[in-house]
Copies of this chain bind each other. A is one copy, B any other.
């Protein structure tokens, strides 16, 4: 089959690799119907050292079950499934608590002998725990929106849930990438009446307004902080959803959060040390939370509104490529010509 392999920064290739086969009785083989390129795929696209063996890519996909191991009991050939970006057993204490990203037997795609989603097919470990069936055919128009349940929508939702968003909280979302826009949609879903979106790409912030943002702040740095404070009577917002991951976004979070408030991060931090002392988090009793989203915990909750067409998170996809053109998809996202690229194997 064909699969996407990254060999180093900027070096994305689609190659013929062996077809995936069942290895464990709990495995399933899934034919990928749609995959996509994640903002976090751009980190290795910028930084990956040249790697002769390459690394499979992609951790978001929906597809059709082709084959199941003998211990798989909830899935059968032909089922349409959504895959969260981490695989998990669904039975350990962490999974039962809804923290499938810390599953005692789970892991992540595209590593340790597991392929990536930007491919024609993939072996899914712990298939019963990992995959969620969706009652649609693979020709459904809902495909892009269902695919967002694999990562971006669940990630934005995790930010909002961990941030404690509700109808009494004001919210700032930092970042107008796909996750930031999903954080807006999620904050709206959880009842927030005031959602300030910080981003400077008009087509994206326009989509953010459609998803529920009430204000857009295009300014960055101190000017952006000042603007949010102006909009909130000088106080900042109860919750800040940080969907970028770079230090300036964290600094911006500190600048716009209200005393007693919460900064919820889902942008993968590209730093390790940061200010958290008396002058930043401690003095004003700010809570810092977030992390890799256990999207598996949210798929069943979010899917009905997608199936009903009540929400259309799939609008974040503004560009579609065939698998052979996936390198062009990376390039388009990197150059910000595309918000998020759908891959059709």
**Nearest Cβ on chain B to A127's Cβ, whole angstroms:** 23
A275 to B250 Cα, complex, angstroms: 13
Q: Indicate with 1 or 0, residue by residue over A278-302, a CB within 8 angstroms of chain B CB atoms.
A: 1111111111111110100000000
Q: Which of B102, B269, B287 contacts A162 (CB 8 A)?
A: B287
A163 to B234 Cα, complex, angstroms: 28
A292 lies within 8 A of B281 (CB): no
Closest-by-CB residue of B relative to A289 is B287
Chain B hits for A279, CB < 8 A: 272
- Give this chain's copy count: 2
> Contacts A99-B259, A288-B289; is A273 near B277 (CB within 8 Å)?
yes
**Nearest Cβ on chain B to A261's Cβ, whole angstroms:** 10
Within 8 A of B (CB), among A38-73: none
B275 lies within 8 A of A283 (CB): no
Q: Is A268 an interface residue (CB 8 A)?
A: yes
Q: Indicate with 1 or 0, residue by residue over A234-278, a CB within 8 angstroms of chain B CB atoms.
A: 000000000000000000000000011000010011011111111
A284 to B293 Cα, complex, angstroms: 10
B292 lies within 8 A of A265 (CB): no
Chain B hits for A284, CB < 8 A: 102, 291
> Contacts A282-B265, A285-B101; is A271 near B277 (CB within 8 Å)?
yes
Within 8 A of B (CB), among A139-181: 162
Q: Which of B97, B260, B282, B294 contacts A99 (CB 8 A)?
A: B260
A292 lies within 8 A of B283 (CB): yes
B286 lies within 8 A of A282 (CB): no
A282 to B274 Cα, complex, angstroms: 12
B291 lies within 8 A of A286 (CB): yes
